[in-house]
Amino acid sequence: MLNVALFGPPGAGKGTQSERLIEKYKLFYISTGDLLRKEIAEESKLGLEAKNIIASGGLVSDEIIVQIIEKTITENQESKGFLFDGFPRTYVQVYILEGLMIKLNTSLNCLISLDVDEEDSVTRLLERGKTSGRSDDNEEVIRNRLKEYYNKTLPVLQFYKDKGIHFSINGANSIEKVNDDISEVLQNELSKSLLNIVLFGHPGSGRGSQGMALAKKYGLEYVSTGKMLEREVEKKTETGKRIRELYENGQLVPDEIVVQLIEQKIENSKGIKGFIFKGFPRTLVQSYILDGLLKKHGSAISEIIEIEVPTLELISRLDARSKTDRCMPYDTSTTKIVQRLQEHETKTVPVIQKYNQQHGVKKINGMGTFEEVFEKLSNEIERGFRKI
């Protein structure tokens, strides 16, 4: 979930930015005023309580507000996150929101404040008043609202500054520039909560077909170095021409090329829940490269999974595959199959051992039908999502 609080003085443009963020990130919009009006219109128990308080000239209590917010979040858990507009408004509400987030097993990712000079706010609101028909869009009321905002909001902002999740955006810029600046913050936040899976297994273990199926089911980006290299060759890019030349000369594609392709993949993948890496890292050097690449983009490996299949079964599977259109270059003879399996033992098994010391590697029995193995892998993926 991506949970964001959007702050700013009256006239800062929160409404305009909220509309764009809700559409772009599929967030559920939470405005206490809107929620109150909805509950009152529906004549719910909480709505009727609020209506009676308002009718008697009182302020709706935090107790009612928090119940309405909790109800809204609980009823919309399929959302990718929530955008809080103007909540929490007070220092007390800060702790209310913190407790509510804990109860709902989530947290606020960031608070973004749109900073606008007081005179700019007044000018904007007076201009809005010419067409809005709002009685509160006059200078005296506007300045009182701004004074109240700054008095109540500064302690709230300081709380989130101390937590390290407050981000300040210059709200005086154009709508597009402000939106770009907010999106940059949110993309960085999303990258921190990606589920990044490294899927290991000997050739013939089924990691390719399983990896693609898992990526499709869970909205993950499937990263296969082999497929990326093939794509470059097919597209006849400059990189593809170099790769073909290396292939024709019987040479291995250097890490330099592979790294560039993976980094492009990471940078160009937007709105995803994470990555499944298959075929990379194959060596200890590549394992350090992957750690560095993910760290550069504010992320890290979440889970390491190895599909285990007995050696004789691997040889049998690869031999059977050699007689189909899915034949790989190392499937064409028993000698090549054995050499490829030995290469995995000498180069890739040390990588798995390294990750086992750092993260722990989850072993999955690769015997059985595709569906049986897929179910076991799915259970691990779902556990991984719950962790983050």
Q: Does 53 reside within a domain?
A: no
Q: At what angle do helices 62-75 and 32-42 cross, to 10 degrees?
A: 80
Looking at residue 335, its pLDDT comes to 87
Quick one: which H or E segment has residue 207?
helix 207-218
Domain range spanning residue 277?
194-387
Q: Which residues contact 340 (CB under 8 A, 6 or more apart)?
A: 203, 318, 330
Instruction: Identify the domain boundary among 191, 210, 242.
Output: 191
Instruction: Say if CB 159 and CB 263 are below 8 A apart.
Output: no
Examine the domain organization and report whether 177 and 210 are in the same domain.
no
Examine the domain organization and report whether 211 and 147 are in the same domain.
no
Examine the domain organization and report whether 177 and 271 are in the same domain.
no
Three-class SS state of 367: coil
Query: Closest Cα to residue 297, out of 188, 219, 385, 220?
Result: 188
Examine the domain organization and report whether 161 and 207 are in the same domain.
no
Instruction: Identify the domain boundary among 138, 173, 191.
Output: 191
Ranges of the chain whose pLDDT falls below 50 = none
Q: Does 33 reside within a domain?
A: no
Instruction: Say if CB 281 and CB 290 are below 8 A apart.
Output: yes
**Amino acid at site 86:** G
Instruction: Say if CB 299 and CB 196 are below 8 A apart.
Output: yes
Q: Token match 């556990």: residue?
A: 383
Examine the domain organization and report whether 179 and 200 are in the same domain.
no
Examine the domain organization and report whether 281 and 345 are in the same domain.
yes
Examine the domain organization and report whether 202 and 142 are in the same domain.
no
Burial of 280 (0-12, 13-18, 19+ CB in 10 A): buried
Q: Token match 């291995």: residue?
A: 252
Q: Does 239 reside within a domain?
A: yes
Examine the domain organization and report whether 366 and 244 are in the same domain.
yes
**Amino acid at site 47:** G
Q: Does 347 reside within a domain?
A: yes
Q: Does 39 reside within a domain?
A: no
> DSSP code of 2?
E
Three-class SS state of 277: strand
Residue 194 phi, psi (nearest 5): -70, 145
Looking at residue 159, its pLDDT comes to 92
CATH number at residue 263: 3.40.50.300
Q: Sign of the CA dihedral 172, 178, 181, 187?
A: positive
Q: Does 69 reside within a domain?
A: no
Q: Does 35 reside within a domain?
A: no
Which parts of 77-220 are beta strand (E)? Answer: 81-85, 110-115, 166-170, 195-201
Looking at residue 53, its pLDDT comes to 86
Considering the entire predicted model, what is its pTM? Answer: 0.56
Instruction: Say if CB 230 and CB 295 are below 8 A apart.
Output: no
Q: How many domains does the chain have?
A: 2
Examine the domain organization and report whether 260 and 375 are in the same domain.
yes
Examine the domain organization and report whether 19 and 161 are in the same domain.
yes
Looking at residue 270, its pLDDT comes to 75
Q: Does 222 reside within a domain?
A: yes
Looking at residue 297, its pLDDT comes to 77
Please state, in angstroms and as integers, the Cα–Cα distance from residue 85 to each residue in 8, 18, 155, following that order: 9, 8, 17
Looking at residue 137, its pLDDT comes to 66
**Amino acid at site 343:** E
Instruction: Identify the domain boundary among 174, 191, 208.
Output: 191
Examine the domain organization and report whether 291 and 369 are in the same domain.
yes
> DSSP code of 329?
G
Looking at residue 388, its pLDDT comes to 65
Examine the domain organization and report whether 181 and 275 are in the same domain.
no
